[in-house]
């Protein structure tokens, strides 16, 4: 690699697009950062996947007719572990006239009658990471003051699944790979979540002994080269994932956690003992040569044990720990070694957030200066032509697994892109699989659907429409969702809205969805997805606003909201057990459930004002550091 050339390119672009970084104090939890402990460094050779001796039962592909045996056994532990935190949570949510503790105790012998809760954090870059973090912080009983009357602390401890996509996958991944750290710990840490320097520049941590940006990229490049030299195809996502890891993985000893794998989450004692939910990451499949990912794209999930899809195009899962192995007819052949270390945690998070072909599609609608726009377009077109703007899973574990003409079942390489490129920017797909029987989903939407980067329900519309398409629905069901204009005209994108409140009106097993759209309660949290640097003040202000989004400002906007959350959690369960909910739930469902009304006229420009306070300062919506990253990596990959 010609590092001086990289340095020159970096310096020139940085000078042309320099952005001041504002330093300010913000209120964060006073927790010692040293408490953050990572998952296990169980890759045999750092970032490079390596050959290892296969276990006595050789790894194999399974069909997607159900969830895995690992998940089934884990659920027996986890679902019972949610009983106590769920009773504590519901007892605090002011459900007058209903003894929630007695109800849970009465039905706990049949765990399938107990509410099955999931949380989903949408994509949207650092905006999604921080807004979603505010939601998880409010849902976490370990956060100070979240277990007071009316607070939602304990919802996270009561959940079975937490799913993330793109920026939401960074949030979920960082939390779980760092041993299920609290959001407050991640904010307080000097080792992660320092977003005031871009991924291009490298970390801003005193404990990492990197003397320059050039050395930072040299280290990343050597790691990616090691993977390539071992015979594995690499792409932009390898660089992208390694750079993300420096910000998201506690890297005190080995700089960005190159040895830390997603499958190691399943080996952590607390996870095995059901002490926290299952993390899921979502990505999309992309046929070679495609730029626009169609709505019927294959949706992949990564859980602690497996990588695969319930979709008919693949309908199979591979053991995550042994990705990179050469599977033939669904099994690692006797004459091949197994491979471990392919599922690097940063690579998994990067796979869910490979947005660069979307940048190419949207480049002309941005306010990037013309000279940089032209250069950026050339870079991205070059990446697209070489198929370097995707994550390459090679060898494709599903190739030849079953008799199918589907591209994903026949190609040597599996191409994976950002999970929101099919329009489903909230990772709902794995949570609506009938085998998982989820009752209620708290869907945190940080999407940038409107001109000013606010959501308008597009993701819910996409999931609903997909559930109506027989060729891809595959047994999934979803509540009816109105069009995007209705979301804006009726204000459904500016406050929590419940969908699917009455299961009698739904065909199939569909969850109740609590839609929690990003909205300016205390801060203008509508940063562009292209913004890749955040001061601590910006980061923490968006997190605080996200907390207010999911709690309705701790119930100050609506004092009934905590009760309404309890009603939503219990609705499917009480329907199964033929139990009547109290009268407050009738009020809640009248207030928060979409009642089928539509208004599809073209809305005026959606530009909401701060609801509670106006202390936030002006901010820049576009950050050119994404250009710098693409340029730097393009230099690496072309010289």
C-alpha to C-alpha distance for 525 and 192, rounded to whole angstroms: 21
pLDDT in tens, 83-94: 999 999 999 999
Average pLDDT over residues 313-321: 95
pLDDT in tens, 184-205: 999 999 889 999 987 777 776 5
Q: Report which secondary-structure segment, H or E, holds 327.
A: strand 327-328
Number of compact structural domains in the chain:
1
Average pLDDT over residues 376-403: 73
pLDDT in tens, 363-374: 555 444 465 456
pLDDT in tens, 411-465: 888 988 888 888 999 999 999 999 999 999 999 999 999 999 999 999 999 999 9
Higher pLDDT, 39 or 570: 570
pLDDT at position 384 over 80:
no
Average pLDDT over residues 58-80: 97
Closest to 565 (Cα-Cα) out of 42, 91, 242, 25 = 91
Mean pLDDT of the chain: 85
pLDDT at position 635 over 50:
no
What pLDDT shows up at residue 520? 98
C-alpha to C-alpha distance for 343 and 355, rounded to whole angstroms: 20
Give how far the C-alpha of residue 324 lies from the chain's centroid of Cα atoms, to the nearest Å. 23
pLDDT at position 6 over 60:
no
What pLDDT shows up at residue 365? 53
What pLDDT shows up at residue 621? 43
What pLDDT shows up at residue 351? 93
Percentage of the residues of the chain whose pLDDT score is greater than 70: 80
Closest to 421 (Cα-Cα) out of 364, 362, 470, 379 = 362
Rounded-to-10 torsion of CA 131, 137, 140, 145: -140
pLDDT at position 399 over 70:
yes
What pLDDT shows up at residue 26? 37
What pLDDT shows up at residue 367? 47
Average pLDDT over residues 602-629: 65
Average pLDDT over residues 220-231: 94
Of the listed ranges 8-12, 580-584, 622-626, the least confidently predicted one is 8-12
In sequence order, which residues have a C-beta less than 8 Å from that of residue 496 and are 6 or more positions away? 514, 515, 516, 517, 550, 552, 561, 592
Residue 90 Rama label (left phi>0; alpha psi -120 to 50; beta): alpha
pLDDT at position 71 over 80:
yes
CATH number of the domain encompassing residue 444: 3.40.1090.10
Of the listed ranges 212-226, 340-354, 505-519, the least confidently predicted one is 212-226
Ranges 18-27, 63-72, 284-293, 368-377, most confident:
63-72
What pLDDT shows up at residue 251? 65
pLDDT in tens, 128-137: 999 999 999 9
Closest to 260 (Cα-Cα) out of 188, 335, 189, 348 = 348
C-alpha to C-alpha distance for 500 and 494, rounded to whole angstroms: 19
Higher pLDDT, 209 or 46: 46
pLDDT in tens, 455-467: 999 999 999 999 9
pLDDT in tens, 246-263: 999 986 655 788 999 999
Higher pLDDT, 570 or 213: 570
What pLDDT shows up at residue 380? 55
What pLDDT shows up at residue 5? 29
Of the listed ranges 225-239, 276-290, 510-524, the least confidently predicted one is 276-290
At residue 309, φ and ψ (nearest 5 deg) are: -150, 145
pLDDT at position 362 over 70:
no
pLDDT at position 41 over 90:
no
Find the domain containing 583 and state its range.
3-638
pLDDT at position 21 over 50:
no
In sequence order, which residues have a C-beta less than 8 Å from that of residue 612 and are 6 or more positions away? 521, 522, 548, 553, 556, 557
């Amino acid at each position: 690699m010609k590092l001086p050339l990289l340095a020159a390119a970096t310096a020139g672009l940085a000078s042309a697009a320099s952005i001041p970084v504002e330093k300010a104090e913000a209120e964060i939890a006073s927790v010692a950062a040293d408490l953050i402990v990572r998952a296990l460094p169980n890759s045999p050779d750092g970032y490079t996947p390596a050959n290892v001796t296969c276990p006595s039962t050789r790894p194999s592909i399974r069909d997607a007719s159900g969830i895995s045996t690992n998940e089934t056994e884990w659920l027996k532990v986890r679902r019972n572990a949610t009983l106590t935190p769920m009773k504590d949570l519901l007892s605090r949510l002011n459900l007058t006239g209903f003894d929630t503790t007695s109800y849970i105790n009465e039905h706990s012998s049949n765990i399938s009658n107990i509410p099955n809760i999931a949380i989903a954090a949408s994509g949207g870059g650092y905006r999604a990471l921080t807004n979603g973090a505010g939601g998880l912080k409010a849902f976490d009983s370990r956060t100070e003051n979240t277990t007071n009357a009316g607070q939602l602390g304990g919802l996270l401890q009561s959940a079975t699944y937490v799913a993330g996509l793109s920026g939401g996958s960074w949030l979920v991944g960082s939390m779980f790979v760092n041993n299920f750290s609290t959001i407050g710990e991640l904010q307080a840490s000097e080792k992660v979540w320092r977003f005031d320097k871009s991924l291009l520049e490298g970390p801003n941590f005193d404990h990492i002994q990197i003397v320059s940006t050039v050395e930072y990229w040299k280290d990343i490049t050597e790691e990616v080269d090691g993977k390539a030299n071992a015979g594995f195809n690499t792409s932009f996502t390898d660089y992208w994932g390694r750079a993300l890891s420096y910000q998201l993985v506690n890297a005190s000893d080995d700089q960005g956690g190159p040895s830390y794998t997603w499958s190691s989450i399943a080996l952590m004692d607390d996870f095995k003992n059901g002490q926290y939910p299952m993390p899921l990451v979502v990505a999309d499949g992309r046929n070679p040569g495609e730029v626009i990912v169609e709505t019927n794209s294959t949706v992949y999930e990564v859980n602690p044990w497996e990588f695969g899809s319930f979709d008919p195009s693949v309908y199979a899962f591979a053991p995550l720990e042994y990705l990179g192995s050469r599977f033939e007819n669904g099994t690692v052949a006797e004459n091949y070694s197994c491979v471990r270390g392919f599922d690097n945690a940063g690579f998994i998070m990067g796979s869910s957030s490979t947005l660069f072909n979307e940048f190419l599609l949207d480049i002309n609608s941005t306010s990037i200066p013309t000279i940089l726009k032209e250069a950026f377009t050339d870079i991205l077109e070059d990446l697209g032509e070489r198929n370097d703007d995707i994550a390459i899973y090679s060898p494709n574990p599903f190739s030849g697994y079953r008799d199918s003409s589907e591209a994903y079942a026949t190609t040597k390489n599996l191409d994976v892109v950002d999970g929101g490129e099919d329009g489903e920017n909230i990772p709902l797909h794995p949570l609506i699989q009938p085998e998982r029987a989820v009752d209620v989903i708290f869907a945190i939407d940080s999407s940038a659907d409107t001109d000013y980067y606010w959501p308008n329900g597009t993701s819910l519309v996409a999931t609903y429409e997909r559930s109506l398409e027989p060729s891809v629905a595959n047994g999934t069901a979803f509540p009816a969702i109105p069009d995007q204009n209705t979301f804006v005209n009726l204000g459904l994108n500016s406050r929590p809205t419940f969908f699917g409140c009455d299961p009698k009106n739904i065909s199939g097993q569909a969850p109740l969805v609590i839609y929690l759209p990003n909205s300016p309660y205390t801060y203008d949290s509508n940063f562009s997805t292209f913004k890749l640097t955040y001061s601590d003040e910006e980061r923490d202000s968006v997190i605080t606003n996200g907390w207010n989004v999911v709690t309705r400002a701790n119930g100050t906007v609506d004092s009934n909201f905590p009760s309404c959350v309890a009603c939503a959690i219990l609705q499917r369960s009480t329907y199964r057990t033929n139990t009547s909910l109290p009268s407050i739930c009738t009020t809640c469902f009248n207030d928060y459930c979409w009642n089928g009304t539509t208004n599809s006229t073209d809305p005026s420009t959606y530009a909401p004002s701060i609801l509670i306070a106006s202390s936030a300062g002006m901010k820049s919506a576009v950050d050119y550091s994404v250009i710098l990253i693409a340029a730097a990596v393009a230099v690496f990959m072309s010289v």
